[in-house]
Amino acid sequence: MKKTVVLGVLFILPLVVYLFFASGVNNFGKLPTLNPKISWSEASSASALEGKISLIIFLGNAVDENKGYLFNFNQKIYKRFSEFEDFQTILISSPDQELVLNDVLTELATITDVSRYRLVFASNEIAQEMFGALQSPYKLDGNFSSSYVFISDKNAALRGRKDDEDEGVKYAYDMRSVAELNNKMEDDMKIILAEYRLALKKNNANNP
């Protein structure tokens, strides 16, 4: 009887442990969806989100003033993930900031490949509409800019955290905080990329 119990433990327990962890990957390996669809009225801007993991930044009328935050983001997040083909960062600013923004990208190009940056120029009114469509609790400042960067998935859904230790629901990541970029946004980017890798592996397995 004892031998039967021991043999049962030796064979069954590892299987139970494996199934537990395997189910854990599927249940906990996804970054929560906070807004199922970011609806931008401008057709060209809306299509910019489809099919890409997009990081969205609003620079408004204050590109030069926000340059330091953008450099934080570039060094801590953009450079680490720009090698992925389906990755892009969308920089939204007013049309009169085009020259300034191009100068900033030229400066960034001396330290990194800037080909994953996509520029969208929008009036203050359109920028406000685009920001509102994210459905976050944040607001644009007086320059129609924000220090927050948002994550949109390939279906143009806003992703973030529902159980953040500091904010509860976390809609975006503050570029002013290197610690937040390092400790939270980098982890969440790894999660969403792993999610798509897992989906790709399953698709390939089902279509040999």
pLDDT of residue 13: 47
Per-residue exposure over 39-63, b if at least 16 CB sit within 10 Å of its own CB, e if not: ebeeeebbebbeebbbbbbbbbbbb
Q: Which domain holds residue 4?
A: 1-30
Report the half-sphere exposure of 90 (CA within 13 A, side-chain side). Answer: 26
- The enclosing H or E element of 149 equals strand 148-152
Q: Kindly state whether residues 103 and 16 are assigned to the same domain.
A: no
Instruction: Say whether pTM exceeds 0.85.
Output: no
**Count of structural domains within the chain:** 2
Residues 191 and 178 in one domain: yes
Q: How do the pLDDT tens digits run along the chain, 208 residues long?
A: 655 544 454 555 454 443 344 344 334 478 999 999 998 875 445 567 889 999 999 999 999 999 999 999 999 999 999 999 899 999 999 999 999 999 999 999 999 999 999 999 999 999 999 999 999 999 999 999 999 999 999 999 999 999 999 999 999 999 999 999 999 999 999 999 999 888 666 655 556 5
Tell whether 151 and 199 lie within a shared domain.
yes
Give the CATH number of the domain where residue 52 resides.
3.40.30.10
169 shares a domain with 137: yes
Distance between CA atoms of 131 and 135, rounded to whole angstroms?
8
